[in-house]
Structure 1
Amino acid sequence: MPMPAPFVNLTQLVQCSDAELEALLEQADFENLEPGRDLPPLRERLLRLERERGLTEVHRRVSDKVLAAGARLVETPRYIGMQHSFALSPDGRHLAVASNRLDESHGGDVRIWELATGRVVDAVGFETTLVGSTREPSCLQWSPSGQWLGVILDQVVIGVLRAFAGMLPSFTVDVTRRWGSPPGWGVINPKTVENTGHLPAWCWSPDETQLFISTPGPDGALGCIVPFREGTRVNEDSEGIRWCPARLDGQPSKSRPHTWVRWSPDGSRIQGYCKQEFVLEPHTDPEPEPHPSASAIDVRSGDLEYRFDELKLPVAFSPDGARLAYGEESPRLANGHTGRAMSVPSKDVDIRILAVVEYVWSSDGRRLAVLINGYEFPQVLIFEAGKLLCQMDLKRRSFGLSLKSGDLGRWAWSPDGSMGACLLREGGMAEPWKREGIKVELWKVGPSPKMLRRLEGASGIDGLAWGADGMLVGTGPHTIAFWDVNTGEQRFRSSLELEPGRVPPPSDWNPWPDEVARFIPTELGWDFTRAQPDGTVECPPGSREKLEPRLMFSVGGRHAWPWRWAEGTRHARWADGAPSLVEPQAEAAFEERRVPVPEGETLEARDARHGKWGFLRQYQAPTRPLNHYKAEPVFTHGPAISRANLTPYLGKGVMLRQTQYGTWYALGTLLEVSDEGILLHPRAPIGSYRERLLSFRDILWIGPAVPLHLHSTDG
């Protein structure tokens, strides 16, 4: 069926003056508006108008017409828990992200971000279910058409939800609980975890009618093929499951299930690799060591076509599965259909390779980027048809950190394979765990490669994805950023962590206890906010300026339309009031205490007292829960956390946070400060209990505890 004519001449829309724009849009036929085709250029033109003239009546009139057919208000979150699973949509316009909840309860969220705006357009919350995983890649996957989104739930189940619908999964697969799950060698007492299930690798069939689940099965099977039908729940006893016996040359393969799998585009085979293959033959001495392997399962028979036991990590199959790049000491290629070695692409390259850190194929499989740590400096080697096309020297830089899940890499190809984006850190390879000085470099790839520009604002980024329409997205555990690669402009960036010195507010301060709390910090408290699907927003006046840029209508579930453009219409309004809140109890925030010092104390007893309480005889003990305080001033990781800065707060209550990835907080009394660390009472939740002091190295931020108030002071 042909698409209806555009609601307006799109060429005129882009090129017309501001004066002509109003008349053009008055004559437009909004009944013919096709969001996928018409909304992006319309939105860009209105953004330009806003930059030049501010919000106008045109924005309101157009919003009224665009939103007339219905749209959901979605808030791009300010604070969320750690992001860990990522998947770029097949059309390159959306990024799906699975994340924890901020308070680390047993819940999580799947959000879909629009690359063109850098805003969330769809979100599905799981109140008691963990989503995705940090342990393995591909826990979150789009179907080939982009209509469906599958995600691992509670480390065991695969749930499939309809993309852009804001609804929980309508199809689940739970087949990993019966045959060695989790693997017996992975736990001390396997009997205690029988039938608990394990994290499976999985993939879609090209026609979206089936899923393959990599898991131990009956009689040595290495996985099963299950039919995909919306509205059904599949388990090990369901009809229609077909187990893959995984025989090799007519004999049981004795292989381990794949760690990562993909269905070949022609539908004939399922290819993948196993990180720890362990094939134990009888009467072998010594017993073989676990090793990586690659293999392919014939879909028709369910047997292995081959097993490639010479595999070395890292590894990457080409998009069509025909080639397999692998090896750490030097890049190698193997035939993805047979497992036979093909070539050593680097044999003619004059470079001493310390380690290959990543392989990235272009989307058409024509080119291969090999990220190498050399003995002198890192390089990116580009191969085409198995031959070296060019190499990029990255002197005085080093590669950024890699995502734990491996879903996104430190190199991202442009859709046509002519350019690449590389995630780099200023300075050499010393202290590679640091996230400071992160930059994204855009390179023109060819016989004479050229660095085109550097993109700023990449701190906290561990992985890149190059989408459609010249949009690049960078992600990390607590950061997400979006750039227009044609101009270098950063469209949006968000640090999803609480600011240093803050922890989530008390849950009983949330005026809407049946909803996930949304909040904005104020000087000595929190402003709670709520965005209703109908466009009503509840937020104290003092925080509206911070909230407003994150409010977007989701048109068709896919396209973000700024809420501010509709303010003053029937679709968007600030609510006047909010539920009355209960004032906190008036007890003192700190209690003054004395350390008992007996008369005639022996030297041995004095040393014991100093070991427990430092040299203090009087101290200040916090009396309220940790989330009733903030740290102010706050000293962050690095030179600021020092003896000179902390000594003035001896005997005072302090707050601190430990580690980089977790949310381990502590509240206690600062008893002693040395050149290396602190003595805290009670002790911080993590740290070496062999050491008396908590090392400065283990503290992300610290500061004197200041009591919070329920009501904000700036509203």
Structure 2
Amino acid sequence: MPGPFANLSQLVQCSDEELESLVEQADFGDFVASRDLPPLRERLLRLERERGITELHRRASDKVLAAGARLVETPRYIGMQRCFALSPDGRHLAIASNRLDESHGGDVRIWELATGRVVGAVGFETALVGSTREPSCLQWSPSGEWLGVILDQVIIGVLRTFAGTQPSFTADVTRRWGSPPAWGVIHPKTVENTGHLPAWCWSPDETHLFISTPGPDGALGCIVPFREGTRVNEDSDGIRWCPARLDGQPSKSRPHTWVRWSPDGSRIHGYCKDEFVLDPNTDPKPEPHPSASLIDVRSGDLQYRFDELKLPVAFSPDGASLAYGDKEARLAHGHTSRTVTVLSKQADVSIHAVEEYVWSRDGRRLAVLITGYEYPQVLVFEDGKFLCHVDLKRRSFGPSSRSGDLGRWAWSPDGSMGACLLREGAKIELWKVGPSPKLLRRLEGAGRIDGLAWGADDTLVGTGHHDIAFWDVNTGQLRFQTSLELEPGRVPPPEDWNPWPDEVARFIPTERGWDFTRAQPDGTVVCPPGSRDKLEPRLMFSVAGRHAWPWRWAVGTRHARWEDPAPFPVAPQEEAAFEERRVPVPEGETLEARDARHGKWGFLKQYQAPTRPLDHYRADPVFTHGPAICRANLTPYLGKGVMLRQTQYGTWYALGALLEVSDEGILLHPRAPIGSYRERLLSFRDILWIGPAVPLETPEG
């Protein structure tokens, strides 16, 4: 590697006047992005804070981008984030997510921790990406050059991490023997050859994958050769099935929930949440239970299966140790499953429940998050010996991640500090961990965060279903934070309003509708003038596919420019947004019929019915989940059209006329899509947000 393009230490410490001279004299022919871009970017950010964007920013951008870079937009809105994986060097976080409408497709995005921006993305138009059911559906290879992800709950796809291209390798081996056995389902033909969600892992030399799935003759998983450009199935050459014999007999074990390959390449260790013997002739039927096991790579047999396992569970990074147990925390030898020590006895605490086990990166330290009979706390062990407990002052842990990829405790890369997510005040506490733990600082802004990862560049990242935040652990300052969910009162715009129908729509809300935007790889950004301030912070050039360079610094050079949208008129709606309708009252109505009418229509005689599709409206004002959704706030809108979003899992919106408001809920016509038809009213507790419907204006250009 050539020497630095400039004196990096002098670059960081110099004055603004000296900086200009250094940049002019620098030899950008020797510029190496991984080494030189971060310090140059940091120095120019400081200059921007002091003087704004200068000519020096433009000159430096012209030189840095001359070798080529792609413009990438950090999205404003995406669907639910499903899987998370921190890169081996701790500088990038991969996230698999749904599309906004959650009906089809998904994306894998690469976030740079130092800037909190997206530097790469791969979209899948029809395939479901990742899963929230089990951990490790998204995994980096040991070198970080490859990224594997589960597609459609069955296939493992591997892509070049920083190339921005579709998977160049797939493995689809869970269908033939992985489908549920005929005796295990009511309608076996409906699931025949559909496959299952597999646990999988990389070999340490990146030449193979292990995929845990039933195989021929009772096999439990297979070792698949990894070669770029190949598509592997059960009939492919080179697949080696692991017979998984235990003490010379078929183990009849269930596939793993989670697996890893040992660093020396000789063993594969993992656990299964619901182990039971797959034998229809067994009577009485065994109860499902967790188990841990170890596969010898050479023979493919089990070295042990540990059926006394209790969740939660965590193997150390090298697989040499196994922490487990819910009421009693234990440490076992990862190669034999024999108990090494009872951790809870060492700490002399009474445990109501163990929440999580979290190993440091080097495997020396173990954090045990417990709920005691009095209050929660974190027990810390070093080399299997009790070190200390972190006193949380009777505060509870934050919410837990659905996928299990990230936890509520994160170790610093060197294991000397830890971060703990707390529920009270939506805060994160940073601790110096030792015989006498010391609270370093509290980080604000952790609302809706349920998982933490401590990466390189002094960055802590927090993730949630629809949120992501990046903190500088040295200062406690937020580097970037965003909700990736639509604002309350909004639903995705109509598809025919998108000026670029062949691309995923990007849009920014306006008072009367939406502004559609387009960021092209060459640096051209199409955006109406009124929304440019909102879009600009999310625009970054991806240099070498890994490093973010602010697009705004290049405006005025050949690399970046704004462009007004071309006219794209949408036919205006001819009918009025609402129509006055009367509740039908038959002549000579009986008391019984009147009561039935009141039950269906409330007590109104007329109401305003929305006439357009739901996505042609927004809600304003908006009342959000909690005390604000109440009778007093909603009564003024009786007989009016309203929009709402329900709180059930998934994305469910409703548009209709508000016919009745009680102390407990509302009567909507037509009924909301999700809810019990035995219940006349939609309960307030099932509404995420609600407000009177306001029609949107169609785009004009």
Category of TM-score, reference length = shorter chain:
over 0.9
Q: Deviations over 1:98-129 (max 9, x none)?
A: 00000113100000000000000000000111
Task: State which of 474, 483, 490 in structure 2 corresponds to 1:495.
Answer: 483
Which residue matches 1:655? Answer: 643
Q: Which residue type is aligned with residue 206 of structure 2?
A: E
Q: Secondary structure at the match of 1:172?
A: strand
C-alpha separation in 2, matches of 1:182 and 1:157: 17
Change (3 A) 1:463 1:183: farther
Which residue matches 1:608? Answer: 596
Matched, 1:77 2:65: no
Change (3 A) 1:281 1:124: closer
Q: Post-superposition shift, 1:394? A: 1.4
Which residue matches 1:128? Answer: 126
Task: State which of 360, 365, 368 in structure 1 corresponds to 2:366.
Answer: 368
Q: Which residue type is aligned with residue 474 of structure 1?
A: G
Q: Deviations over 1:454-494 (max 9, x none)?
A: 11111111100000121111000000000110111110001
| Cα pair 2:454 2:461 within 8 Å, conserved | yes
Matched, 1:563 2:551: yes
Map of 1:58-207 to 2, 5 A cutoff? 58-182=56-180, 187-207=185-205
Which residue matches 1:270? Answer: 268
Which residue matches 1:442? Answer: 430
Q: Secondary structure at the match of 1:398?
A: coil
Q: Deviations over 1:609-659 (max 9, x none)?
A: 000000011011111111000011110000000000001111111100012
Which residue matches 2:206? Answer: 208
Which residue matches 2:473? Answer: 485
Q: Which residue type is aligned with residue 389 of structure 2?
A: Q
Task: State which of 653, 673, 680 in structure 1 corresponds to 2:668.
Answer: 680
| Cα pair 2:371 2:377 within 8 Å, conserved | yes
Q: Which residue type is aligned with residue 269 of structure 1?
A: R
Map of 1:420-439 to 2, 5 A cutoff? 420-426=418-424, 437-439=425-427
Q: Post-superposition shift, 1:282? A: 8.7
| Cα pair 1:346 1:388 within 8 Å, conserved | no
Task: State which of 687, 698, 711 in structure 1 corresponds to 2:686.
Answer: 698
Q: Secondary structure at the match of 1:60?
A: helix
| Cα pair 2:313 2:357 within 8 Å, conserved | yes
Task: State which of 569, 573, 578 in structure 1 corresponds to 2:566.
Answer: 578
Matched, 1:30 2:54: no
Change (3 A) 1:655 1:183: farther
Map of 1:159-558 to 2, 5 A cutoff? 159-182=157-180, 187-279=185-277, 286-426=284-424, 437-558=425-546
Q: Which residue type is aligned with residue 483 of structure 1?
A: W
Q: Deviations over 1:134-157 (max 9, x none)?
A: 100000000000000000000000
Which residue matches 1:430? Answer: none
Q: Which residue type is aligned with residue 440 of structure 1?
A: I
Q: Secondary structure at the match of 1:25?
A: helix
C-alpha separation in 2, matches of 1:125 and 1:654: 34
Q: Which residue type is aligned with residue 173 of structure 2?
A: V
Greater Cα offset, 343-352 or 699-708? 343-352
Q: Post-superposition shift, 1:23? A: 0.8
| Cα pair 1:378 1:397 within 8 Å, conserved | yes
Between the two proteins, what is the percent identity of the paired residues? 86
Q: Deviations over 1:345-369 (max 9, x none)?
A: 1113232211001000000000000
Greater Cα offset, 570-579 or 160-169? 570-579
| Cα pair 2:570 2:699 within 8 Å, conserved | no
Q: Post-superposition shift, 1:183? A: 5.9
C-alpha separation in 1, matches of 2:347 and 2:524: 62
Q: Post-superposition shift, 1:281? A: 7.0
Q: Secondary structure at the match of 2:595?
A: helix
C-alpha separation in 2, matches of 1:184 and 1:650: 54
| Cα pair 2:113 2:457 within 8 Å, conserved | no
Q: Post-superposition shift, 1:425? A: 1.0
| Cα pair 2:398 2:408 within 8 Å, conserved | yes
| Cα pair 1:82 1:661 within 8 Å, conserved | no
Task: State which of 17, 20, 23 in structure 2 corresponds to 1:19.
Answer: 17
| Structure 1: gaps spanning 5 or more residues | 427-436
| Cα pair 1:500 1:636 within 8 Å, conserved | yes
| Cα pair 1:150 1:158 within 8 Å, conserved | yes
C-alpha separation in 2, matches of 1:401 and 1:282: 39
Q: Post-superposition shift, 1:182? A: 4.3
C-alpha separation in 2, matches of 1:162 and 1:283: 47
| Cα pair 1:408 1:464 within 8 Å, conserved | yes
| Cα pair 1:149 1:161 within 8 Å, conserved | yes
Q: Post-superposition shift, 1:443? A: 0.4
| Cα pair 1:220 1:252 within 8 Å, conserved | yes
C-alpha separation in 2, matches of 1:71 and 1:28: 20
C-alpha separation in 2, matches of 1:425 and 1:67: 44
Which residue matches 1:433? Answer: none
Q: Secondary structure at the match of 1:67?
A: helix
Task: State which of 44, 54, 57 in structure 2 corresponds to 1:56.
Answer: 54
Q: Post-superposition shift, 1:392? A: 1.2
C-alpha separation in 2, matches of 1:457 and 1:54: 27
Q: Secondary structure at the match of 1:397?
A: coil
* Number of equivalences: 701
Change (3 A) 1:609 1:559: same
| Cα pair 1:377 1:393 within 8 Å, conserved | no
Greater Cα offset, 564-573 or 599-608? 599-608
C-alpha separation in 2, matches of 1:647 and 1:382: 54
Q: Secondary structure at the match of 1:103?
A: coil
- Quote the RMSD (CA, aligned, Å): 1.3
Q: Secondary structure at the match of 1:44?
A: helix
Q: Which residue type is aligned with residue 539 of structure 1?
A: C
C-alpha separation in 1, matches of 2:483 and 2:97: 14
Which residue matches 1:429? Answer: none
Q: TM-score, normalised by structure 1?
A: 0.97
Q: Which residue type is aligned with residue 211 of structure 2?
A: I
C-alpha separation in 1, matches of 2:520 and 2:15: 36
| Cα pair 2:467 2:483 within 8 Å, conserved | yes
C-alpha separation in 1, matches of 2:527 and 2:416: 47
C-alpha separation in 2, matches of 1:480 and 1:660: 22
C-alpha separation in 1, matches of 2:310 and 2:181: 22
Q: Post-superposition shift, 1:597? A: 1.4
Q: Which residue type is aligned with residue 393 of structure 1?
A: D
Greater Cα offset, 275-284 or 349-358? 275-284
C-alpha separation in 1, matches of 2:565 and 2:375: 60
Q: TM-score, normalised by structure 2?
A: 0.98
Q: Post-superposition shift, 1:334? A: 1.0
Q: Post-superposition shift, 1:283? A: 7.4
| Cα pair 2:183 2:280 within 8 Å, conserved | no
Q: Post-superposition shift, 1:184? A: 5.6
| Cα pair 1:77 1:550 within 8 Å, conserved | yes
| Structure 2: gaps spanning 5 or more residues | none
C-alpha separation in 1, matches of 2:534 and 2:526: 13
Q: Deviations over 1:187-211 (max 9, x none)?
A: 5322211001111000000000000
